[in-house]
Structure 1
Amino acid sequence: MTPRQYVLVGLMGLPLGCATVPGDVRLRSDGTPMAEKCPEKALEVMRYLRLYVGESAWVQLDANQSRAESITLHDGPLESILDQDVGTLEAPLRLYGRVWTGGAQPVIRYYEAQFLKGKDRVPICAVARLGFGQLRKRPESKPGTAILNAPRAGMYIVDEFR
């Protein structure tokens, strides 16, 4: 067995359920989410997967709009595609999370990763970020949406959502 296979076999024995629903958080007056703790199970899984806080990789923000010139995100669930390996996560794989579009730029939090070939989803904690204001919404974005100039962003591993 390869080291990656040992990690995946070890994950099979972990109970992956959470006491609360990830992404079900209170909102600020501008519609952005408040702080949220990373579930203990996600922290445990991330240790097994060698996903350390601050590690990052490129993602296609919306699997349905990958490689488009500009994209429109809507409040609610999001499926992204990991473009680069990070820790023991090998690209491409699916990232599942949630988008909030209430502020000047969307807030994107990832709660699960899914390996290819039908493997189970595993809990993680990550966010999408892009420096220099590049993740800002375009002015023509309607309420509940965020029109972005780029389909990609950095995905960063976190231990808490702030």
Structure 2
Amino acid sequence: MDLSRVLRVSCIVLLCASAGCTAARGSVPLRADGSPGPEECSEEALKTMRILRMRVGDAAKVELDANQIDRRNITLYDGPVESYLDGPLGMLEAGTRLYGHVWTSGRQIVVRYYEAHPVDGEPVPICAVGRDISKKSDSRPGLAVLDYSGALVFVVNSFR
């Protein structure tokens, strides 16, 4: 069985096993500066990441906003985000969409990813974060202006 077929079958099985998992998180406790507090990954996400060979610390390049690929001076808003993998992450191929949430209130932008949608598969739960994403100092509340559209995404086993 080829790798793409294995990935598709795994994704279908995991989707069935994780029905009811949500990609958007509205109940994350916030710190005093407006950044999100600690949050555990779901058992479904941890299981999915093991199957997809996504290990804690694995990283890949990502376009932060699928609607602003390869641009300078992009704007991210607080709330849901759809990102785009530029390279593989475990068994996820380049082109996989990552769905998560952006918080712009702190000194650095926080992006947490809760779901991946493989190119030829069904959405699956994951836990990953965008790291070292700095905003311009003149960014207004509720949004962040960035110099570049790309960043690195890292696999995690909980959000801290």
CA RMSD of aligned residues (A): 1.6
Aligned counterparts of 1:157 and 1:124: Cα–Cα separation in 2: 8
1:46 aligns with 2:35: no
Aligned counterparts of 2:157 and 2:10: Cα–Cα separation in 1: 21
1:143 aligns with 2:146: no
Q: 1:87 to 1:11 in 2, by over 3 A?
A: same
Count of matched residue pairs:
157
Aligned partners of 1:84 and 1:92 also within 8 Å: yes
Question: What is the TM-score normalised by the length of structure 1?
Answer: 0.90
Equivalences for residues 81-100 of structure 1 within 5 A: 81-100=84-103
Q: State the shift of 1:20 in Å.
A: 6.9
1:29 aligns with 2:29: no
User: What amino acid is the match of 1:95?
Assistant: L
Aligned counterparts of 1:125 and 1:159: Cα–Cα separation in 2: 6
Question: What is the TM-score normalised by the length of structure 2?
Answer: 0.91
- Pick aligned residue for 1:152 from 145, 150, 153: 150
Q: State the shift of 1:17 in Å.
A: 3.1
Q: State the shift of 1:2 in Å.
A: 1.4
Equivalent position SS for 2:48 = helix
Q: State the shift of 1:142 in Å.
A: 0.5
Aligned partner of 1:17 in structure 2 is 19
Structure 1 unmatched ranges of 5 or more: none
User: What amino acid is the match of 2:89?
Assistant: V
Aligned counterparts of 1:84 and 1:7: Cα–Cα separation in 2: 16
Aligned counterparts of 1:140 and 1:34: Cα–Cα separation in 2: 25
Aligned partner of 2:115 in structure 1 is 112
| Percent of aligned pairs sharing the same letter | 47
Aligned partners of 1:18 and 1:39 also within 8 Å: no
